[in-house]
Amino acid sequence: MPDPIESVVTQGLCTGCGLCASLFDDSVEMSITLAGRMRPIVKKPLDDKSTETFQAVCPGLHVTGPDPKIAGPKGVMHSVWGPMRTTYRGWSSNPEIRFRAAAGGALTAMAIHLLETGKVDAVIHVKASESHPMLSDAHVSRTKEDVIEGSQSRYGPAAPLVNVKRLLDEGARFAVVAKPCDIAAIRNLQKVDSRAKEQILYCLTLFCGGIASSHTPEKIAKFHGVEAKDVSVFRFRGNGWPGPLRVQSKAGKTYDLTYEDSFDNEDYPWDYDVQFRCKICADAIGELADVSCPDAWIMKDGEPTFDEAPGVNVLVTRTEVGEELVSDVEAAGDMELSPFAIDELDAMHASHLPRKLEFPGRHLGVRLAGAAVTDFRRFRTLRALWNGGLWHNLTSMLGTRRRVRNGDNHEPLD
């Protein structure tokens, strides 16, 4: 019988969150595979109890969407964007944090506020690896300085949840700042572990474009003539908004690319080889978080523009906890807010619409190809079919079935 963790990996359903390695640290560890993915490596088989726990918490196996009532009487359960209690434009009132962060520094401001007010003892997030700058390490912040150190976007593989069990064992109260799939893993854990419900007090996230392999930054560095071993700084974004993609060599040379060139220029010899699990995701916008914090792109003629400007986030509060947090951070003077209309998201983050509206077709395509697919429940499947249209879902189904039959979902274990 195949190992349950290895089965999730080989079927292309692993998110790389690291929760299994945290919970079963004597049996599982996280490592970058030859394919450039952060994946669990099974050192010894799980016992029956651990297997049951893994199957309950793994976000590669199942994700349950938010209760429709969570938006509250004054909020909305949007058919595309999920629960929305309040929406704002926002940014850190500290200009240095705002400049350093990938967008407006709103996530950084909230994390610092939580620590400095004693609402939490620690914050889980990721930061650039000190030993391998193109990679990202899981990090636990306990001070303002720790949070700021990790306050820039990391688009490559990372396992932010590897420290969860350690903090639970310590009795620490903590917040998690991570990708939507990582938040889904936390919500799964809170259903089966009372400590997680009592001690993990805040979940904050972003809108996710998908996780590329570690080969992508290597190709970008090599394009500039810098070998991986000679890279001293690799920053996807930040130091401005959106900020340049910067490669700095140990010899002191600096190479910058604009946001558009680094992500959208097809003339460059790399692409963001997003993992299969991201391609079938029904929640890249963090519906299960307390607060979702995407970029508040500047719009021109109905399209987002990426000219450099002072950074701004959108803040979508999804729970009562999230709404109170945003209000408290503003009241403390740590963040500035201005109005934001829900309808603005449709054009500003139009790239998320196919993923939200065509996931039923993609999931059906995986099943018709005879493969396993993550069980996404309570994500308004019928509404997605209606809003996305049968034709778009049909073409998504056919394309996904073809890719799975070609083995695009399959991952090796090493």
Q: What is the mean pLDDT of the chain?
A: 96
Amino acid (1-letter code) at residue 117: T
Average pLDDT (163-182) is 98
Closest CA to 62 of 198, 175, 192: 192
Q: What is the 3-state secondary structure (H, E, C) of the chain?
A: CCCHHHHHHHCCCCCCCCHHHHHCCCCEEEEECCCCCEEEEECCCCCHHHHHHHHHHCCCCEEECCCHHHHCCCCEEECCCEEECEEEEEEECCHHHHHHCCCCCHHHHHHHHHHHCCCCCEEEEEEECCCCCCCEEEEEECCHHHHHHCCCCCCCCCCHHHHHHHHHHHCCCEEEECCHHHHHHHHHHHHHCHHHHHHEEEEEECCCCCCCCCHHHHHHHHHCCCCHHHEEEEECCCCCECCCEEEEECCCCEEEECHHHHHHCCCCCCCCCCCHHHHCCCCCCCCCCCEECCECCEEECCEEECCCECCCEEEEECCHHHHHHHHHHHHCCCEEEEECCCCHHHHHCHHHHHHHHCHHHHHHHHHHCCCCCCEEECCCHHHHHHHHCHHHHHHHHHHHHHHHHCCCCCCCCC
Contact 59, 15 (CB under 8 A): yes
Model pLDDT, residue 271? 87
When pLDDT is cut at 50, 70 and 90, the band that residue 270 belongs to is confident
Pairing of strands 62-64, 76-78: unpaired
Across the range 327-342, mean pLDDT stands at 97
What's the pLDDT band for 66 if we cut at 50, 70, 90? Answer: very high
- The mean per-residue pLDDT over the stretch 107-119 comes to 98
What pLDDT score does 32 carry?
A: 96
pLDDT at 7: 97
What's the CA gap between 246 and 235, in Å, rounded?
5
In this structure, what token pair is assigned to residue 222?
Answer: 């090599």
- pLDDT over 70 at 1, yes or no: no
Taking residues 390-394, what's their average pLDDT? Answer: 95
> Which pLDDT value is given to residue 264?
81
Q: For residues 280 and 374, is the Cβ–Cβ distance under 8 A?
A: yes
Residue 337 has pLDDT above 80, yes or no: yes
